[in-house]
């Protein structure tokens, strides 16, 4: 009992010392009424380097986080051009503290009910070192199906590892490969359980033996470990990697999802202070090189490449410059299959998934991982997932994770992925 109180005290204390940098930051919901307003909003966002949680378009409200000293000018500028807004969260720091408190509570309950079963729990979002250790443990424990690959080191020197999961160590050259990559963007924590769920089901539970008999899997749970750790230890809303050496030196990080070599630098930011800074050149970052190497090593065998992000309940395919690949009808059909399966098992309060071209549904962009992957694998399937922004009763929303949703996020997304995997085998896609 004393121990529990002690932990409670420590965690509450830590919670209150954190997130000071977000004191007074306001999350705005913004509505645009034509595409010119949407474009002007992007200009405003770039002028003030605001933190876009989601872009506004004609179908969906955008969410933009604004520092206290910019609130007035932001409200004035968008009102002048006819954009309307509401205040979603007045002081986001309170929600960040709440997320920490919910996570601490979930961890305590999880520890109390911990069983001897091997595997990571789906009660909390695990840190990088825990996941990294786990990948090694899985490979040691299940050497016949799982191998760990040291794929390279991050900017700060963390080892980037992924699992190869296969019934015969990738020996059948005709067997399709599916790649699942998560956490390219640091703050998108809810993507981690998707990778962990797939590992659990394929390797440990062995729930669907056909999926490992017919398919080889590559699962990269944390593609951006430095950014991910920084989002835990310091700045919760960190998106980029942790590259330094730019001017001004206070501006750190490259947006890895603008750093790939597909129309690089044409619809992204040249400003190191921006959240969509594309870096000095395509593949300037070791983290994006890891993904490039996976794609080039298995190029001829990859039947589906999934880059998992949050948020928006979307399954997107290329290209982000509005061109669509020649096989977009197949991309759309399999995407809809996945979406319908997830919708059938999702929590009712979350919206249905939408499927489509990323530029049409979201916005134009360049250097995007999923687009580069699409070109690399030709007429096979490349998707960017945007997982649901589950909103709980306390209004935890957007990138913030309600611990109660972690298990469901892993479960429902895997349900969708399984449908595509079986379609690939059945139709030899």
Strands 146-153 and 216-220: unpaired
Cβ at position 108, least distance to ligand NAG in Å: 4
If the CB atoms of residues 22 and 414 are measured against ligand NAG, the closer one turns out to be 414
Of the ranges 43-51, 197-205, 223-231, 264-272, which one interacts with ligand NAG (CB under 6 A)? 197-205
Tell me 269's DSSP state: B
If the CB atoms of residues 14 and 329 are measured against ligand NAG, the closer one turns out to be 14
Q: Which of 88, 201, 307, 402 binds ligand NAG (CB under 6 A)?
A: 201
Instruction: Outline where DSSP puts E strands in 129-273.
Output: 146-153, 159-165, 177-182, 216-220
Q: Which of residues 305-324 bind Zn ion (CB under 5 A)?
A: 309
Cα-Cα-Cα-Cα dihedral sign, residues 238, 241, 244, 246: negative
CB of 322 closer than 8 Å to CB of 362: no
Exposure string over 133-152, b if 16+ CB within 10 A, otherwise e = ebbeebbeebeebbbbbebe
- Cite the DSSP H helix spans in 254-357: 286-297, 328-345
# binding residues, ligand NAG (CB under 6 A): 8
Query: Whole-angstrom Cα distance, residue 49 to residue 360?
Result: 24
The partner residues of 148 in beta bridges, in order of sequence, read 163
Q: Which of 98, 108, 289, 404 binds ligand NAG (CB under 6 A)?
A: 108
Residue 107 contact, options Zn ion, ligand NAG, none, Cβ 5-8 Å cut-off depending on partner type: ligand NAG
Which helix (DSSP H) or strand (DSSP E) does residue 314 occupy? Answer: strand 314-317
CB of 410 closer than 8 Å to CB of 193: yes
Cβ at position 200, least distance to ligand NAG in Å: 4
Instruction: Note whether 258 binds Zn ion by CB under 5 A.
Output: no
Tokens of 110: 């999880």
Of the ranges 44-52, 126-134, 258-266, 302-310, which one interacts with Zn ion (CB under 5 A)? 302-310
Of the ranges 107-115, 155-163, 342-350, 369-377, which one interacts with ligand NAG (CB under 6 A)? 107-115
Task: Read off φ and ψ for residue 360, nearest 5 degrees.
Answer: -75, -40
Tokens of 147: 């191998």
If the CB atoms of residues 7 and 48 are measured against ligand NAG, the closer one turns out to be 7
Helix/strand/coil for 203: helix
Q: Which of residues 170-189 bind Zn ion (CB under 5 A)?
A: 185
If the CB atoms of residues 95 and 185 are measured against Zn ion, the closer one turns out to be 185
Tokens of 36: 């010119």
Q: Which of 386, 412, 415, 427 is catalytic?
A: 386
Distances from the Cα of 202 to the Cα of 207, 243, 425, 427, angstroms = 7, 34, 16, 22
Query: Whole-angstrom Cα distance, residue 254 to residue 277?
Result: 5
Cβ at position 263, least distance to ligand NAG in Å: 38
Q: Measured in whole angstroms, how far is the alpha carbon of residue 359 from the centre of its chain?
A: 18
Q: Measured in whole angstroms, how far is the alpha carbon of residue 415 from the centre of its chain?
A: 18
Cβ at position 178, least distance to ligand NAG in Å: 17
Q: Which of residues 100-119 bind Zn ion (CB under 5 A)?
A: none
Residue 111 contact, options ligand NAG, Zn ion, none, Cβ 5-8 Å cut-off depending on partner type: ligand NAG
Let me know if 427 is a catalytic residue. no
Instruction: Note whether 205 binds ligand NAG by CB under 6 A.
Output: yes
Residue 292 contact, options Zn ion, ligand NAG, none, Cβ 5-8 Å cut-off depending on partner type: none
Instruction: Note whether 107 binds ligand NAG by CB under 6 A.
Output: yes
Instruction: Note whether 128 binds ligand NAG by CB under 6 A.
Output: no
Strand order in the sheet with 84-89: 51-54, 62-66, 26-31, 84-89
Q: Which of 22, 25, 197, 311 binds ligand NAG (CB under 6 A)?
A: 197
If the CB atoms of residues 19 and 309 are measured against Zn ion, the closer one turns out to be 309
Of the ranges 33-41, 80-88, 199-207, 231-239, which one interacts with ligand NAG (CB under 6 A)? 199-207
Of the ranges 190-198, 246-254, 301-309, 336-344, which one interacts with Zn ion (CB under 5 A)? 301-309
Residues that bind ligand NAG (CB under 6 A): 7, 107-108, 111, 197, 200-201, 205
List the catalytic residues. 386
């Amino acid at each position: 009992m004393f121990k529990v109180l002690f932990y409670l005290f420590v965690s509450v204390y830590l919670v209150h010392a954190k997130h000071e940098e977000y004191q007074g930051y306001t999350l705005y919901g913004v509505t645009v009424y034509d595409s010119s307003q949407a474009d002007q909003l992007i200009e405003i966002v770039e002028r003030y380097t605001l933190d876009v949680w989601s872009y506004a378009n004609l179908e969906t409200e955008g969410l933009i986080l604004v520092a206290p000293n910019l609130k007035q000018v932001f409200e004035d500028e968008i009102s002048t051009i006819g954009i309307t807004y509401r205040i979603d969260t007045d002081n986001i720091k309170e929600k960040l503290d709440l997320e920490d408190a919910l996570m601490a509570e979930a961890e305590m309950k999880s520890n109390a009910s911990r069983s001897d079963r091997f595997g990571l729990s789906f009660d909390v979002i695990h840190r990088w070192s825990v996941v990294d250790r786990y990948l090694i443990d899985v490979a040691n424990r299940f050497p016949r199906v799982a191998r760990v690959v040291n794929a390279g080191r991050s900017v700060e020197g963390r080892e980037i590892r992924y699992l190869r999961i296969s019934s015969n160590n990738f020996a059948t050259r005709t067997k399709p490969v599916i790649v699942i990559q998560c956490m390219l963007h640091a703050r998108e924590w809810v993507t981690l359980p998707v990778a962990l769920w797939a590992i659990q089901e394929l390797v440990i539970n062995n729930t669907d033996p056909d999926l490992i008999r017919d398919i080889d899997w590559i699962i990269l749970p944390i593609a951006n470990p430095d950014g991910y750790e920084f989002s835990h230890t310091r700045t919760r809303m960190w998106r980029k990697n942790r590259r330094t050496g730019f001017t001004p030196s206070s501006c750190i990080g490259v947006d890895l999802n603008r750093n790939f070599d597909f129309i690089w630098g044409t619809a992204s930011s040249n400003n190191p202070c921006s959240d969509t800074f594309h870096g000095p050149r395509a593949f300037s970052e070791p983290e994006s090189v890891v993904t490039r190497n996976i794609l080039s090593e298995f190029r001829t065998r990859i039947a589906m490449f999934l880059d998992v992000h949050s948020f928006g309940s979307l399954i997107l395919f290329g290209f982000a410059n509005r061109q669509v690949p020649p096989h977009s009808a197949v991309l759309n059909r399999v995407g809809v299959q996945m979406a319908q399966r997830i919708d059938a098992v999702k929590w009712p309060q979350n919206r249905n998934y939408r499927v489509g071209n990323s530029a049409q549904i979201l916005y134009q962009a360049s250097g995007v991982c999923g687009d580069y992957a699409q070109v690399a694998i030709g007429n096979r399937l490349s998707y960017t997932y945007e997982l649901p922004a589950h909103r709980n009763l306390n209004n935890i929303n957007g990138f913030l994770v309600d611990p109660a949703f972690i298990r469901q996020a892993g479960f429902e997304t895997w349900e969708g992925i399984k449908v595509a995997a079986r379609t690939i085998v059945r139709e030899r896609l």
